[in-house]
Structure 1
């Protein structure tokens, strides 16, 4: 990919910051969408909750990556926080897609974040991008989130959806909370440990997004999950092996439901998601197995 002007929403998040570093290191001009007054030419103001984007700052961009949204696991799901999860994704995507569609020269590609939560509870059943949406809050959000990109797609912008799994990284997400517990010898399985966790190393997440930016023939949904999903029990064993710590503790399902409320369904639920379209496109994972992904994060 020749040096390009790439706009990134959510550039301060776990994935966005890693993507920005990677793109900048390879000579691309990265422009960040920010909520405050821009402090330099590499920032463009937007207000996703109010549907406002400074379209002048998008002029001349070659690609746009939208990774913005309130963290699903940041706090207990009250009605107000569920509303924020939804509006921060759907409203922000709508605003950005409409802004891109209004440009005289829209970007060639729009990569819009999504999540493996699209599929909901899958149990032991492996699913790929051909599977329908599941039932529940997160699948509903993901369906609306992806549909909100329609204005950009209808304007002729190649549009890609990244249905990301659990990112293995020290700096945030589920693993950002797990590492300190396991390092202290306090880690263990959640519930009975039989639920599948579809993971992806942060390195592979960034590489996959760049792959999707580069390939002009790719559009639509792509599962950004490693090819070998593992159960929570297997994750627990792998963490113990890599960190050389005991994994004797476990958190019973009733305790998780009491502590986390509705969000416990995400922890106790099973999502066995495969990246069929990503593999078919020729992408190769650097860390396809859980042990390697954990080591890469460390």
Structure 2
């Protein structure tokens, strides 16, 4: 396939492109930093720096849209919230407009989202049909998803990636969490009862490839392992894999002071299940957290 990818230099994008290259697909990466693309991959890979001079996407069989400002890196000031929205929605709208302008459009748009779509769900079992809580993360994801869904026609299906916490040593949450644990200072956040819907980086990539290749899939999918755990269990398991204790607790009040409103990302959660992926026939290589962490840390994935 000829595939256009946005967000190709991020954690998921890098791993996905490596797999798609192994599968002999032709990849074009949309990035404002071509040198960053070439440093991760090779000079032979096609790279676009913008879409302004493009009239359509007739040359592509698929578009995979992973671009977006990291949601947890900064406090959610009004300006940062708008940056989070714009970094996702403006580019997605451009892609949708080009798909709709195509005589022979891509057969699939796979577009990012997050389990934050549901808001903080406490101990509720969360599937793709669960009604969301009207919080900022829901508003952000819903707007992003609705723009992507506008590309759906009989010629183009749309798959939405409601992604959980992607586990990898090469980026995302795990490298930020691990240092205190390695020093024996790790532990739960708040009361530790909040659910953490996680997924191994390999399963994340394999799930995207599965959706790319299965023409019967469309709509929203929870990209999370089938066994979500509470924060207390996650931290205990991480400490066990690292052979360190996990006696500490970071009080919720401290996290709220440090992070402001964005503390909901670590103090809230979703007990999310990948119902639609499983129903479609996808098989997880790493369904259990301990096995996933052992593999990731041992092989530095």
TM over 0.5: yes
SS of 1:148's partner is: helix
Query: 2:25 corresponds to which residue?
Result: 28
Query: 2:222 corresponds to which residue?
Result: 223
| Alignment of 1:183 onto 2:182 | yes
In 1, are the aligned partners of 2:193 and 2:230 still within 8 Å (CA)? yes
Query: 2:2 corresponds to which residue?
Result: 5
Of 31, 44, 47, 1:43 maps to 47
Structure 1 residue 45 displacement after superposition: 2.5
Whole-Å Cα distance in 2 between the matches of residues 135 and 94 of structure 1?
Answer: 23
In 2, are the aligned partners of 1:170 and 1:179 still within 8 Å (CA)? no
Whole-Å Cα distance in 1 between the matches of residues 56 and 102 of structure 2?
Answer: 11
SS of 2:293's partner is: helix
SS of 2:4's partner is: strand
Q: How does 1:133-212 map to 2 (within 5 A)?
A: 133-154=132-153, 156-212=155-211
Query: 1:66 corresponds to which residue?
Result: 65
Residues 257-278 of structure 1: CA deviation (Å, up to 9, x unaligned): 0001001011100211110000
Q: Give the direction of change, closer, same or farther, for the CA distance of 1:128–1:53 in structure 2 (3 Å limit).
A: farther
Whole-Å Cα distance in 2 between the matches of residues 14 and 41 of structure 1?
Answer: 18
Structure 1 residue 172 displacement after superposition: 1.6
Structure 1 residue 167 displacement after superposition: 0.6
Whole-Å Cα distance in 1 between the matches of residues 239 and 251 of structure 2?
Answer: 19
In 2, are the aligned partners of 1:44 and 1:57 still within 8 Å (CA)? no
Query: 1:49 corresponds to which residue?
Result: none
Structure 1 residue 249 displacement after superposition: 1.5
Structure 1 residue 93 displacement after superposition: 0.9
In 2, are the aligned partners of 1:240 and 1:247 still within 8 Å (CA)? yes
Whole-Å Cα distance in 2 between the matches of residues 259 and 291 of structure 1?
Answer: 29
Q: How does 1:87-102 map to 2 (within 5 A)?
A: 87-102=86-101
Q: Which runs of 5+ in 1 are unaligned?
A: 47-51
Residues 52-107 of structure 1: CA deviation (Å, up to 9, x unaligned): 44436844111110000000011111111111101111111111111111122111
In 2, are the aligned partners of 1:53 and 1:96 still within 8 Å (CA)? no
Structure 1 residue 151 displacement after superposition: 3.5
Q: How many pairs align? A: 290
Structure 1 residue 184 displacement after superposition: 2.2
Whole-Å Cα distance in 2 between the matches of residues 23 and 270 of structure 1?
Answer: 31
Whole-Å Cα distance in 1 between the matches of residues 221 and 279 of structure 2?
Answer: 11
Q: TM-score normalised to the size of structure 1? A: 0.93
Q: Give the direction of change, closer, same or farther, for the CA distance of 1:53–1:289 in structure 2 (3 Å limit).
A: farther
